[in-house]
């Protein structure tokens, strides 16, 4: 089974001439998507389907290891031709296997990252959907032509913070198997799943005004903004005061005990399901911590460590992960060095004040041993899905 991406890019756009290669935030619009697709490990090949020699020449300059050109037929590159007609043409010409997966990607949705593509493909395979589309959460109130509300009851107008809204197709990408597309002649069919993306990705570039707005969005969320939680690859935590309440308990026999939260244990599994690795690093040498780490199945465990930053840097070097892509939960002075070095520092509400004053740190509402790690994990996961985190 192969996974192939198809990026339609015709040259005859009327509203914005040759928009696919028009400079967008410093480079041709289509390059934003192609550079991200080229980094997706699951993808075998990325085809740009175009009828334009200018677009073809621009794409070839990228020298992408997976990127190929497919010269589409002129009849399927007109203003009236559907995307489905191109998809079916491509499948007929390329003679792909029935169980191959096709990822259809729109260059006019430049906010999609390699993480989104990888995570969506993972979800598609794990949840065994027939097809999938990308969406955003839409929290506006809709009315029909008849004057009746479509998605809410105006007698009981909900507060936006509590309103789930509805799902809006953002057009970024679609996933389906070759056999399904050929059978139904449609990009979607059967048991349809959705992949929830951040709200700012709702915009598709079709008109000049869209272009201006999209560049502002790109600069805010992808260029000028801080590293997003979607870039987190590894989450580390201290133990005492973070995974425990920092209390020391002893049995009648003098055996040392610690209080852990089962909610934190589930958080490790939730992060793992999103492809994020987890680790525990502590200065203590105790079998209790070792047993806890084994139970919740952390990827990394280091006990009796005095220089935590050195260990984290070694792990990042071995895993080819940048420190900016690391999150760390710490609460005391021996965590300061790490918290200042990672891209995503967190601390529980019970952390020392000098920890809370670290620039950029996120102060959780939960205490150590009482769901702080779970809250951190949920903040990361809800950000990945485009949701607003509510404690």
What digits encode the pLDDT tens for the residues 1-24?
999 999 999 998 878 889 999 999
Output the pLDDT for position 383.
73
What CATH class is the domain 3-219?
A: alpha beta
Q: Tell me how far apart the alpha carbons of residues 45 and 168 are, in angstroms, rounded to a whole number.
A: 28
Residue of 274, 280, 249, 245 lying closest to 261 (CA atoms): 245
* Residue range 288-331, pLDDT digits in tens: 778 887 888 889 989 888 899 999 999 998 888 989 899 999 99
Domain with CATH 3.40.50.1000 in the chain: 230-384
pLDDT score at 245: 83
- pLDDT (tens digit, 9 = 90+) per residue, 215-246? 988 887 766 444 455 579 999 999 888 988 86
Q: In terms of pLDDT, which residue wins out, 389 or 74?
A: 74
Nearest to 113 by CA among 182, 55, 198: 198
Whether the per-residue pLDDT at 362 is higher than 70: the answer is: yes
Out of 132-136, 318-322, 376-380, the most confident range is 132-136
Over the range 293-309, which residues count as b (16 or more CB within 10 Å of their CB) and which as e? beebebbbebbebeebb
pLDDT tens, residue by residue, 98-125: 999 999 999 999 999 888 899 899 999 9
Burial 89-101 (b: 16+ CB within 10 A, else e): bbbeebebeeebb
The tokens describing 102, both together, are 């096709």
Q: What is the pLDDT of residue 247?
A: 66
In terms of DSSP bridges, do strands 45-50 and 67-71 run parallel, antiparallel, or are they unpaired?
Answer: parallel
Written in H, E and C, the secondary structure of the chain is CCEEEEEECCCCCCCCCCHHHCEECCEEHHHHHHHHHCCCCCCCEEEEEECCHHHHHHHHCCCCCCEEEEECCHHHCCCCCCHHHHHHHHHHHHCCCCCCEEEEECCCCCCCCHHHHHHHHHHHHHCCCCEEEEEEEECCCCECCCCCECCCCHHHCCCHHHCCCEEEEEEEEEEEEHHHHHHHCCCCCCCEEEEEECHHHHCCCCCHHHHHHHHHHHHHHHHCCCCCHHHCCEEEECCCCCCECCCCEECCCCCEECCECHHHHHHHHHHHHCCCEEEEECCCCCHHHHHHHHHHCCCEEECCCCCHHHHHHHHHHHHCCCHHHEEEECCCHHHHHHHHHCCEEEECCCCCHHHHCCCCCEECCCCCCCCHHHHHHHHHHHHHCCCCCCC
pLDDT of res. 253: 65
Tell me which CATH code domain 230-384 carries.
3.40.50.1000
Return d(Cα 154, Cα 64) in angstroms, integer. 52
Kindly tell me if the per-residue pLDDT of 391 is higher than 70. no
Residue 389 pLDDT greater than 80, yes or no: no
Query: How does the average pLDDT of the chain come out, rounded?
Result: 88
Output the pLDDT for position 250. 67
Q: What is the mean pLDDT of residues 344-356?
A: 89
CATH 3.90.550.10 location in the chain? 3-219
């Amino acid at each position: 089974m192969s996974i192939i991406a198809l990026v339609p890019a015709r040259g005859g756009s009327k509203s914005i001439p040759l928009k696919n290669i028009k400079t967008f935030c410093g480079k041709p619009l289509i390059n934003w998507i192609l550079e991200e697709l080229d980094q997706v490990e699951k993808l075998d090949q990325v085809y740009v389907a175009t009828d334009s020699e200018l677009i073809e020449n621009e794409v070839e300059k990228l020298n992408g290891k997976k990127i190929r050109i497919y010269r589409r037929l002129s009849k399927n590159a007109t203003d009236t031709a559907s995307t489905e007609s191109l998809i079916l043409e491509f499948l007929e010409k390329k003679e792909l296997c029935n169980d191959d997966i096709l990822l259809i990607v729109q260059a006019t949705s430049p906010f999609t990252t390699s993480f989104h593509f990888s995570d969506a493909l993972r979800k598609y395979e794990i949840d065994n959907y027939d097809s999938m589309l990308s969406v955003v959460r839409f929290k506006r109130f809709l009315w029909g032509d008849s004057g009746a509300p479509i998605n809410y009851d105006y007698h009981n107008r909900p507060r936006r913070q509590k309103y789930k809204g509805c799902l809006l197709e953002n057009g970024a990408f679609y996933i389906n198997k070759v056999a399904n597309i050929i059978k139904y002649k449609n990009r979607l069919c059967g048991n349809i799943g959705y992949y929830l993306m951040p709200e700012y990705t709702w915009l598709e570039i079709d008109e000049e005004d869209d272009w201006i707005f999209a560049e502002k969005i790109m600069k805010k969320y992808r260029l000028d903004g801080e590293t997003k939680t979607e870039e987190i690859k590894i989450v580390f935590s201290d133990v005492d005061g973070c995974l425990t309440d920092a209390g020391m308990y002893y049995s009648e026999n003098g055996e040392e005990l610690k209080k852990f939260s089962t909610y934190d244990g589930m958080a490790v599994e939730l992060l793992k399901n999103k492809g994020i690795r987890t680790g525990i690093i502590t200065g203590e040498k105790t079998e209790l911590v070792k047993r806890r780490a084994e139970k919740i199945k952390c990827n990394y465990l280091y006990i009796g460590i005095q220089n935590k930053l050195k260990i984290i840097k070694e792990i990042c070097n071995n895993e080819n992960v940048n420190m900016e892509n690391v999150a760390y939960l710490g609460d005391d002075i021996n965590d300061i060095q790490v918290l200042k070095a990672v891209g995503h520092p967190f601390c529980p509400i019970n952390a020392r004040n000098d920890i809370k004053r670290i620039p950029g740190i996120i102060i959780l509402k939960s205490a150590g041993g009482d769901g702080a790690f779970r809250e951190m994990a949920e903040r990361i996961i809800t950000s990945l899905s485009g949701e607003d985190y509510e404690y």
